[in-house]
A and B are shown apart, each in its own frame.
Chain A
Amino acid sequence: MNEQSIKKKIVVKDTTKVFGKNMKRAVQLLKEGKSKGDILKATGATVGVKNVTFDVYDGEIFVIMGLSGSGKSTLVRMLNRLIDPTVGQILLDGEDIVQMNKEQLREVRRKKIGMVFQNFALFPHKTIVENTEYGLEIQGVPKDQRRKKAVESLKLVGLAGYEDQYPNQLSGGMQQRVGLARALANDPDILLMDEAFSALDPLIRKDMQNELLQLHSDMGKTFIFITHDLDEALRIGDRIALMKDGEIVQIGTPEEILMSPSNEYVERFVEDVDLAKVLTAGHIMKQADTVQVDRGPRVALRLMKQLGISSIYVVDKSNRLMGAVTAQDAVAASETDKSLEEVLISNLPMISPDTVLTELFDVVSTASIPVAVISEDRKLLGIIIRGALIGALSGDNQFINNDGIIEPADQMNTEVV
């Protein structure tokens, strides 16, 4: 990702939050490099967030992940100053919200930052539509106008028709949709989601994650998502910040976090991840041996002999996969002077590089020749060998490509041809 070309939506610089008395002394001790436990002993103050620095890019889903007590909820609340940072700078579109007065801050909360809460935080005495229009109501938007927006927003999250119900008449999943609709009704640039799906059943949670991704790609807003669930973080995050004891331990894409943990903590954290659900075909595919179709069966046969393999993939000039040919067929073709095209096996198992490993097992186990990985325009990217699949599942890095970063298709082509 080219950091220069992407607009920074939020910039957090050296931000610290200390709870309790003796804040100045605690900050001083922090500067001296004392640990959270030492500071608690010395001053009685709790360090919630410790000297955190990161950027959030415009339009990305930025996940802040950590176990309970890691300071992630405190951190997200500092972004709209529900909690005031003790020291530090938080720039939102270049403006420091820490320096804002009450009125400016209110304006930012009303127009720029929406928030969705873990336990939904719907107002029990208001109907669904009244809940949804709350943000607009307090801005003094006329009733029919805000009602219209609220209804639209509810439609967006799939809750049309529930306008006049009360929150406790809805299931948890639906209540959180209302929470989402309420935040979206204000049309903010940034959406803070504090453990938004943590209170939901696993199945509903997955649905919500999918819908969130859909909404995100439709609306292009910046989402900051807090979770304690690594699977969730890996699923929805464009980038993930991993927190521990108030500090950010590592920031990176899901692949970076999984494949090159920056320290032992992250490593331990990710070791239980079901790799089969995270790794994709792109991660484990190997270079394919190919022959261009117009070279004829004899060339194909020679290549197979050289490489010691019993079948080879056949591609056209632009590396589009046409099929495969076995040594047996190639011999037969060369004897009868047939072209390669005539003896091709064309109904090969083919998959896209985004296919996760769990979906691969079936195809790989039944295929007689290695499964081909192709791009959308049928270009051959690589092949899946059974050994590599098993090796990758055991977490062996030598079977995983380039720390998990998929190489661009055209680069791969030049290597193959």
Chain B
Amino acid sequence: MNELLPRLPFADWIDNGVDWLVSTFGSVLDGIANVLGGVVEGAVTVLDMVPSILLAIIFALIAYFISTRKIALFTLIGLLFIDYLGYWYPMLQMLALVLTSVFLAVVIGIPIGIWGSQKESVRKVVNPLLDLMQTMPAFVYLIPAIFFFNIGVVPGVVASVIFAMPPTIRLTMLGIEQVPKDLIEATEAFGSTAGQRLMKIQIPLAKPTIMAGVNQSIMLALSMVVIASMVGAPGLGEEVYRSVTQLKTGVGVETGVSIVIVAIILDRITQQAGVRKKKIGGKLS
């Protein structure tokens, strides 16, 4: 093949494109980087001001109100265990990274999902893009992210947002599309505007599905923390990465377990939030 066809320099083109973007939008990108970095670091600083025991209790209470007593207990013990192991501060850094990423993924993802659910043409563009975002090895996002945002927590956030956003978009679209056709017909027959149909019927009924998407986004963002640490994002991921490079199995397991604990807490709390919404909506079903 190589002898028959001249090799097109795709890689060079892409590099040139990235260079062009960096030189043209440098100041904008710097602005974004500053804001994102500020948000994550600010969150860490605020969380760190609270004593670890008090914060663990606060999280347990949140879990108690949203979810069940069992999960509240697990939250309390799990967080205190992480504190006991001495990974409290890295855990906070990771949490700030994950929550910021998920927040952005949701804030961007849900409107795109809603838009896609209303317009066939949007869906046709968005769906293949989502496929691409999900199948592209996550490491690849890191390289341009470094060029755009330097090393540190910001490229980590950006890569996590891109990686974590697809489930929110997909499940938002799915949830809205799954609203039974006869209900849509009913809202139409009573003379609803498109906005009323969306706000009063489609989104409320799609809420459990949308929440499942958010839950999946959180899990994906968590799975990105180790990868993000390769570009200098601090946190538990960084600890795992270091233990790998230094072949420290013990530390690796400790930090790994800590990530799992945080993952379980976040997963259960958000899952229950979705289920509870369903209960309110559907009562006995």
- A residues contacting B by CB (< 8 A) are 80, 82, 105-110, 113-115, 117-119, 121, 123-125, 134-135, 137-139, 166, 168-169, 182, 186, 192
Is B15 interfacial (CB 8 A cutoff)? no
Ordered by A's residue number, 23 sampled pairs between the chains whose C-beta atoms are within 8 Å are A82-B188, A108-B191, A109-B191, A110-B191, A113-B189, A115-B189, A117-B182, A118-B182, A121-B180, A121-B183, A121-B185, A121-B186, A123-B201, A125-B204, A125-B280, A134-B187, A138-B187, A138-B190, A138-B191, A138-B192, A138-B196, A139-B191, A166-B283
Cβ of B50 under 8 Å from chain A: no
**Is B285 a contact partner of A168 (Cβ separation < 8 A)?**
yes
Contact of B190 among A105, A124, A134, A168 (CB under 8 A): A134
Q: Is the CB of A135 within 8 A of B204?
A: no
Question: Which residue of chain A is the closest to B204 with respect to CB atoms?
Answer: A125
The 8 A-B pairs of least Cβ separation, nearest first, read A109-B191, A110-B191, A125-B281, A121-B186, A115-B189, A121-B182, A166-B283, A135-B190
Query: Of B185, B200, B282, B284, which contacts A138 at CB under 8 A?
Result: B200
On whether A80 and B189 interact (CB within 8 A), knowing A119-B182, A168-B282, the answer reads yes
CA distance A114 to B189 in the complex (A): 7
Give CA–CA (A139, B190) in the complex, Å. Answer: 9
Is B212 in the interface zone, CB < 8 Å from A?
no
Residues of B with C-beta under 8 A to A166: 282-284
B205 and A124 contacting across the interface, CB-CB below 8 Å? yes
Residue among B192, B196, B201, B285 with max Cβ neighbours from chain A (10 Å): B192
Q: How many residues in B have their beta carbons less than 8 Å from beta carbons of A?
A: 23
- Chain B CB within 10 A, most for which of A108, A113, A166, A169: A166
Among B183, B188, B280, B283, the residue within 8 A (CB) of A123 is B183
Whether B246 is near chain A, meaning CB under 8 Å from some CB there, is: no
- B193 CB-CB contact with A under 8 Å: yes
Contact A115-B283, Cβ < 8 Å, known A106-B193, A107-B191: no
Q: Which residues of chain B have C-beta atoms less than 8 A from A137's C-beta?
A: 200
Whole-angstrom CA separation of A138 from B282 in the bound complex = 22
A135 touches B281 (CB 8 A): no
Contact indicator B282/A82 (Cβ below 8 Å): no
Chain A residues with Cβ under 8 A from B183's Cβ? 121, 123
Chain A hits for B285, CB < 8 A: 124, 168
Q: Are A125 and B191 in contact (CB-based, < 8 A)? A: no
Least Cβ distance of B273 to chain A in Å?
16
Question: A residues within 8 A CB of B185?
Answer: 82, 117, 121
CB-contact partner of B186 in A106, A113, A117, A168, under 8 A: A117
Interchain CA distance A124-B282 in the complex, whole Å: 6
User: Would B186 and A115 count as touching, CB distance under 8 A?
Assistant: yes
Chain B nearest Cβ from A133, distance in angstroms: 11
Residues of B contacting A80 with CB < 8 Å?
189
A105, A117, A121, most chain B CB atoms within 10 A: A121
Whether A106 and B282, one on each chain, are in contact in the complex, defined by CB atoms closer than 8 angstroms, is: no
A186 touches B190 (CB 8 A): yes
Which chain B residues numbered 256 to 284 have a C-beta less than 8 Å away from chain A?
Answer: 280-284
Distance to closest chain A CB from B180 (angstroms):
8
> Shortest CB–CB separation between residue B186 and chain A, in angstroms?
4
Residue of A whose beta carbon sits closest to that of B185: A82
Q: Tell me, in angstroms, the Cα distance from A138 to B188 when the chains sit together.
A: 11
Please determine whether A169 and B196 come into contact, CB atoms closer than 8 angstroms: no
CB distance from B108 to the nearest CB of A (A): 26
Residues B282 and A110 in contact, CB atoms below 8 Å apart: no
B284 pairs with A168, CB closer than 8 A: yes
Contacts of B281 in A (CB 8 A): 124-125
List the A side residues contacting B282 at CB < 8 Å: 124-125, 166, 168
**B200–chain A nearest beta-carbon distance, Å:** 7
Residues of A within 8 A of B201 (CB): 123
**Complex contacts, B193 vs chain A, CB 8 Å:** 106, 138
- Known A125-B205, A166-B282, A168-B285; contact A135-B182, beta-carbon cutoff 8 A: no
CB contacts under 8 Å to A, within B190-210, are 190-193, 196, 200-201, 204-205
List residues of chain B with CB within 8 A of the CB of A186. 190
CB distance A82 to B283 under 8 Å?
no
A26 to B285, CA, bound (A): 46
How many angstroms from the CA of A397 to the CA of B163 in the assembled complex? 78
Q: Which residues of A contact B284 (CB under 8 A)?
A: 166, 168-169
Chain B nearest CB: distance from A122 CB in Å?
8
Minimum CB–CB distance for B277 against chain A, Å? 9
Chain B residues positioned under 8 Å from A114 (CB to CB): 189-190
Kindly identify, within residues 159 to 190 of chain B, every residue whose CB is under 8 Å from any CB belonging to chain A: 180, 182-183, 185-190
B283/A168 in contact, CB under 8 A: yes
Between B190, B192, B205, the greatest number of chain A beta carbons within 10 A of the residue's beta carbon is seen for B190
How far does the alpha carbon of A124 sit from the alpha carbon of B280 in the complex, in Å? 10
Which residues on the A side are within 8 Å of B200 (C-beta)? 134, 137-138
**Distance between A228 CB and nearest chain B CB, rounded to angstroms:** 17
Contacts of A124 in B (CB 8 A): 205, 281-282, 285
Contact of A109 among B188, B280, B283 (CB under 8 A): B188
Q: How far is the CA of A334 from the CA of B153 in the complex (A)?
A: 123
Q: Which residues of B contact A125 (CB under 8 A)?
A: 204-205, 280-282
CA distance A114 to B190 in the complex (A): 7
Output the least CB separation between A414 and chain B (Å): 52
Q: Min CB distance, A111 to chain B, in Å?
A: 8
Residues of B within 8 A of A105 (CB): 191
> Given A117-B182, A121-B182 in contact, is the A110-B283 Cβ separation under 8 Å?
no
A120 → chain B, closest Cβ, in Å? 8
Q: A109-B190, A125-B204, A168-B284 are in contact. List 16 more A-B contacts (CB 8 A).
A: A108-B191, A109-B189, A115-B190, A117-B185, A117-B186, A118-B182, A119-B182, A121-B183, A121-B186, A123-B205, A125-B282, A137-B200, A138-B187, A138-B193, A138-B196, A168-B285
A149 to B182, CA, bound (A): 24
Q: Which residues of A contact B187 (CB under 8 A)?
A: 134, 138
Q: Tell me how far the C-beta of A417 lies from the nearest C-beta in chain B, rounded to whole angstroms.
A: 56
